[in-house]
């Protein structure tokens, strides 16, 4: 079983990756933030052991997620990935040629710098009432606190969108842009297994982190209808990645037709992410042919419920939209 560090002990970042991110929502999704989900999924794709800190402490630049490794703090998912590639020798893009790498970067930027804002608008402005239900806040006045946090976040998102430029368009125009981005992703994926071909690459972490929001955090919205309807190849892609890298994240409908090749996991009642101390990655290891030699230890705690989980963190919601 995973060893739980007592509250008094500091988890040292010596030779260990500490991932700082917002705490888990209560509906099974690992994160409401595309960038936090991207980062954690990347670590799993690269088979890097890590420890989660859900304390809500922002990076020195006021961003989330960020990591600590050997006492060095790195912020911004692009810089974090560069850092890990340099320090730990991992590289999910090693099979890509120069043109493919350029396309991969362009897709990453379209998703992170444009599509991201349309999702944030849906999640924190238009669909706020649904998002509110997913946030975990406990203790007295939790309903009021949730309301305050959600509306603070909404205000910040709207202000940032105005600075970015996209916020000056009408709601219809924002959704038109969102649809174009999603159709582009569907066109880029086609009938391939992953964005760049049969093998995983870095861009899959980005695309999954964002599309997962449409799949599982935006109930009753246009992006959800689009991805589960016409752009079904994207839904299947998300399911593939979820089942491969997030086996502890279950849904009631795990036996639906999205994925036929994976063995169907026993349908479980929907519940928040469990603490999984044993997680077999053999299938991934062989199948993807990764050359990553960092071994996986049985007591790796991928959900990484840290000692801080039970703390009620007032900053979580408000800062979620600052995830980059």
Interface residues with a second copy (CB under 8 A) are 61-63, 76, 78-79, 98-99, 101-103, 105-110, 113-114, 159-165, 168-169, 173, 177, 180-181, 183-185, 187-188, 190, 322, 324
User: Among candidates 19, 51, 32, 28, which has minimal Cα distance to 127?
Assistant: 32
Place of tokens 């099979």: 95
| 319 SS3 class | helix
Instruction: Closer to a second copy by CB, 110 or 200: give it.
Output: 110
Instruction: Closer to a second copy by CB, 139 or 190: give it.
Output: 190
Cβ contact 28:286 at 8 Å:
no
Q: Return d(Cα 280, Cα 23) in angstroms, integer.
A: 24
Instruction: Closer to a second copy by CB, 48 or 185: give it.
Output: 185
Instruction: Closer to a second copy by CB, 66 or 249: give it.
Output: 66
Q: Return d(Cα 286, Cα 305) in angstroms, integer.
A: 28
Q: Return d(Cα 215, Cα 139) in angstroms, integer.
A: 29
Question: Cβ of residue 75: shortest distance to a second copy, in angstroms?
Answer: 8
Question: Cβ of residue 78: shortest distance to a second copy, in angstroms?
Answer: 7
Question: Cβ of residue 24: shortest distance to a second copy, in angstroms?
Answer: 23
Contacting residues for 248 by C-beta, under 8 A, at least 6 apart: 273, 274, 276, 279, 302, 303
Instruction: Closer to a second copy by CB, 11 or 106: give it.
Output: 106
How many other CB atoms sit within 10 Å of the CB of residue 109?
13
Question: Cβ of residue 122: shortest distance to a second copy, in angstroms?
Answer: 18
Question: Cβ of residue 73: shortest distance to a second copy, in angstroms?
Answer: 13
Q: Return d(Cα 158, Cα 154) in angstroms, integer.
A: 6
């Amino acid at each position: 079983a995973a060893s739980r560090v007592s509250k008094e002990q500091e988890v040292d970042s010596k030779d260990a990756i500490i991932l700082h991110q917002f705490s888990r929502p209560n509906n099974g999704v690992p994160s409401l933030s595309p960038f936090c989900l991207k980062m954690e999924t990347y670590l799993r794709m690269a088979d890097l052991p890590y420890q989660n800190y859900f304390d809500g402490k922002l990076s020195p630049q006021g961003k989330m997620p960020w990591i600590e490794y050997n006492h060095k703090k790195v912020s911004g998912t692009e810089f974090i990935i560069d850092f890990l590639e340099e320090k730990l020798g991992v590289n999910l893009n090693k099979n890509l040629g120069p043109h493919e790498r350029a396309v991969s970067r362009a897709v990453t930027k379209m998703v992170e710098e444009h599509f991201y804002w349309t999702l944030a608008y849906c999640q924190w402005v238009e669909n706020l009432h649904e998002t509110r239900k997913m946030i975990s806040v406990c203790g007295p006045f939790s309903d009021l606190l949730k309301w305050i946090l959600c509306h603070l976040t909404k205000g910040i998102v709207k202000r940032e969108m105005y600075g970015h430029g996209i916020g000056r368009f009408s709601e219809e125009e924002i959704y038109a842009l969102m649809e174009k981005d999603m159709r582009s992703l569907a066109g880029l994926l086609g009938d391939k297994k992953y964005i760049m071909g049969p093998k995983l690459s870095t861009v899959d972490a980005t695309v999954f982190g964002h599309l997962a929001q449409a799949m599982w955090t935006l109930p009753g919205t246009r992006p959800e209808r689009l991805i589960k309807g016409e752009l079904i190849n994207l839904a299947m892609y998300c399911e593939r990645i979820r089942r491969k890298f997030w086996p502890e994240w279950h849904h009631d409908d795990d036996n639906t037709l999205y994925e036929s090749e994976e063995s169907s996991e026993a349908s479980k009642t929907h519940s928040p992410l469990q603490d999984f101390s044993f997680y077999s990655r053999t299938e991934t290891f062989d199948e993807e042919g990764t050359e990553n030699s960092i071994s996986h230890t049985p007591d790796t705690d991928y959900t990484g419920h840290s000692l801080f989980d039970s703390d009620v963190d007032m900053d979580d919601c408000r800062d979620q939209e600052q995830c980059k």
